[in-house]
Amino acid sequence: MAKAKVLRGLVWAMGYACVAIGLFHVLLGNAAIPGAGSAGPTVDSLGRFFGAIFTGYGLAWLWAARRSPIPASAVRWLAGVFGLGALGRLLSLAVHGWPHWFQVALGIVELALTPLFFWLADAEERVLRVQSPG
């Protein structure tokens, strides 16, 4: 039961955080990226577009949070996308070197949360199976 509560709390938090971060990037463009400075209109356009995509990603987490039980398959897919983002950060590190410290911190969070979400993914479904055997 505790794992199910942790899962639900993390899924809600992930959804709201991603929506907020995505909208922040849509509204502020380059100014939303610590250490980016003035990257020009092309990168600003790209950043705002990806901000909108990230907002949609957050809405997908919120969709999952509103289900009962939270679907394990949705959590796994969303966590997989999150993990792919973390791998992208590692690739960037290997190719271009260390980014702004805040990006490093985000990468650590992404690398830590991805396996946690996979571990918790079916927590609510398991509780439901135990409560209604048959």
The answer to pTM > 0.75 is yes
Amino acid, res. 89: R
Asked if residue 25 lies in contact with residue 132, where contact means CB atoms within 8 angstroms, the answer is no
Round to whole Å and give the CA distance between 81 and 35: 24
Domain count, the chain: 1
Q: Look at residues 21, 1, 58 and name the one whose alpha carbon lies nearest to residue 66.
A: 58
> Which pLDDT tens digits describe the chain residue by residue (134 residues)?
799 999 999 999 999 999 999 999 999 998 898 877 777 889 899 999 999 999 999 999 999 999 999 999 999 999 999 999 999 999 999 999 999 999 999 999 999 999 999 999 999 999 887 777 65
Which domain covers residue 51, as residue numbers? 1-131
Q: Look at residues 18, 23, 25, 24 and name the one whose alpha carbon lies nearest to residue 48.
A: 25
Backbone phi and psi for residue 34, each to the nearest 5 degrees, phi listed first: -60, 130
